[in-house]
Amino acid sequence: MTLTPNARKWQDSDARARTLRELVEMSMESKLAADALVALRQIIRATDMDGRQLAKQTGLTTSQLVVMQLLKRSPGLTITKLAERVSLRQATVTALIDKLESRSLVQRKRSDLDRRRVELYLTEEGSAMIEAAPTILQERFIVQFDQLEDWEQSFILAALQRVASMLDAGELDASPVLSVGALDRTEKHQPH
């Protein structure tokens, strides 16, 4: 794997310490850069706080809730179709479904038409959980984003894509789910 110039810089801890000091000094000199970093940190904190609140109220991660909401709207999806719809890897969705099934929130059923096909459905407990769940950050974002003019939406998208590129994150596998990680830190979980 070839590292980007920025990634190589972070490998050496001495270079990292120097780079962090330089960033602090540079950000103090550049009010706009400091303000941009504050805004970025606010987004990260809002995402983290929303995920923690959801976990506290429901015991679910944002990704788990989004998967359940999709199964409510489209019962009978396969793991492959579900993975496509939420833009996650099939292995990640399988792990999410395993966790939800262990909590009796989702069930797998063989198709009546094709016994090789395994379909996913919410249980009654899963449906009740969705009804009781709070509105998540990404839903609030989408409502407000959709109210913007087309040019504003394009501007925000371009700016966010540029920020992702500046952070060497433009090529990371990510879904349109605002989440910062797993509830159980021992759980192997892809970032989304």
98-133 tens-digit pLDDT:
999 999 999 999 888 888 889 999 999 999 999 988
Per the rule left: phi > 0, alpha: psi between -120 and 50, beta: everything else, 87 is: left
Please say if the pLDDT value at position 143 is more than 70. Answer: yes
Q: What is the mean pLDDT of residues 5-27?
A: 62
Place of tokens 């990292």: 16
Cα–Cα distance, 69 to 180 (Å, whole number): 19
What is the structure's pLDDT at 112?
85
CATH topology of domain 12-166: Arc Repressor Mutant, subunit A (1.10.10)
Confidence of residue 3 (pLDDT cuts 50, 70, 90): low
Q: What is the mean pLDDT of residues 10-35?
A: 68
- Classified as helix, coil or strand, 56 is helix
Identity at 112, one-letter amino acid code: D
Cα–Cα distance, 156 to 154 (Å, whole number): 6
Confidence of residue 173 (pLDDT cuts 50, 70, 90): low
Please say if the pLDDT value at position 60 is more than 60. Answer: yes
CA neighbor of 156 nearest in space, from 48, 6, 39: 39
Please say if the pLDDT value at position 136 is more than 60. Answer: yes
**Is the CB of residue 156 less than 8 Å from the CB of residue 148?**
yes
- Classified as helix, coil or strand, 192 is coil
